[in-house]
Amino acid sequence: MAKRERLSGNEAVAIALKQINPDVFPAFPITPSTEIPQYFASFVANGLVDTEFIPVESEHSSMSAAIGASAAGARALTATSSAGLAYMWEPLYLAASNRLPLVLAVVNRALSGPININCDHSDSMGARDSGFIQLYAENNQEAYDNMVQAFRISEHKDVQLPVMICQDGFITSHAVENITLLEDKEVKDFVGEYEPENYLLNPACPTAVGPYSVTDYYMEAKRAQAEAMKNAKDVILEVAKEFGDLSGRNYGFFESYHLEDAEYAVVMIGSAAGTTKDTIDQLRKQGVKAGLLKLRVFRPFPAEEIAEALKNVKAVAIMDRADSFSNQGGPLGAEVMSAMYRKHLQAEAINIVYGLGGRDVTVEDMGEVFAELARIAKTGEAGDTYRFMGVRG
């Protein structure tokens, strides 16, 4: 039977991990993800899990230890934020290229500088091409649900790739919401026991992990990695279907909110989607056909599905909580506009960078975005397609 609780996003993720009971959890603290290993360490101390919890000296070490544990055949994970994720940069690529099924809980925080401890997506977006699958949450419930699904996706025989489970720092990680937890046994049965086929501690199958790859083999390894990321699309949907049957909460690549008949649409990731839904509710009462596409899966990028969902809108604003400093906009904008172009969509599109360093996003802000989309649809002139929202002066 499902249990109703009031939990922060960090505590919800830690409880999901308690229910999964992984084998190894190396950890190094960094705000705002520190609470995840902190809560989990209390579970270890109280005998609620039999996980090997390893305090290490840095984030580079925590990912390296997770890699070693996963290569040895253990179910492993770690957690981090911001500069901690940047410090993991080298082993992120090792985890993905060695096809190791491990999980990284990312609590999104601005990547310095200037130094800032609040939410934006510059940390995980900076790692978007590392080879990790990336799932994002709007709220605490989704953070919990994504973590429950993560190992099933990562360990699937057609995938064997690491997964990032991302949530917005402080906005969801520390804020308390009502959420529904599955029973411990339900989660344990859903995730199942990890039974790797090839691992370092298997004496029946001697193997090497991370050997030097000469020119004759490197491209084939990368192509295989790319094929695994393609396979992950089907696996993500399969796991989500099973999870929906179990929990009654359904997930896909994205959530469409009043998008079926929308003339104006916003595409975004994360907690600001909740504010945008409130804006849409108000606009719908006024007869404005506004809609939202809230992306859950950023890697693999569901380009065809996004283009199909946006095919009937007149104008689109793609909202990025990170900037690529390309003089063109942010990473989500680049990916969505590319998807629209490939499908020959006629909608005008603009890319708006917002909420950097935790800058507030209000219903009024999003109302202005939809008003601008209505103007663009009427005139056919998008104007500056690379914009910032909420900047003083």
Q: Is the pLDDT of residue 275 over 70?
A: yes
334-389 tens-digit pLDDT: 999 999 999 999 999 999 999 999 999 999 999 999 999 999 999 999 999 999 99
Choose between 104 and 202: higher pLDDT.
104
CA distances from 153 to 79, 95, 99, 119 (A): 18, 15, 13, 26
Let me know if the fold of 3-247 is the same as that of 254-388: yes
* Topology of domain 3-247, CATH: Rossmann fold (3.40.50)
Distance CA 366, CA 151 (A): 35
Q: Return the biggest CA–CA distance within the chain.
A: 69
Residue 393: C-alpha distances to residues 174, 385, 388 (Å)? 31, 20, 12
* Domain boundary assignment for the chain: 3-247, 254-388
pLDDT in tens, 220-239: 999 999 999 999 999 999 99
The answer on pLDDT for 312 being more than 90 is yes
Assigned CATH for 254-388: 3.40.50.920
**Rounded distance, CA 119 to CA 123, Å?**
10
Instruction: Using DSSP, state whether 268 is helix, strand or coil.
Output: strand
Convert the pLDDT of each residue in 164-178 to its tens digit.
Answer: 999 999 999 999 999
Torsion of CA 241, 243, 244, 245, to 10 degrees: 90
What separation in angstroms does the CA of 253 have from each of 53, 202, 206?
32, 36, 38
Query: What confidence tens digit (pLDDT) does each residue in 76-109 have?
Result: 999 999 999 999 999 999 999 999 999 999 999 9
Please tell me the pTM assigned to this model.
Answer: 0.97
Six-digit token pair at 159? 């995938």
Q: Identify the H or E element spanning 6.
A: strand 3-8
Mean pLDDT throughout 2-24? 96
Whether the pLDDT of residue 1 is over 80: the answer is no
| 303: exposed, middle or buried (Cβ count in 10 Å: 0-12, 13-18, 19+) | middle
- State yes or no: pLDDT of 206 exceeds 90: no
pLDDT band at 2 (very low <50, low <70, confident <90, very high): confident
> Are 334 and 301 spatial neighbours (Cβ–Cβ below 8 Å)?
no
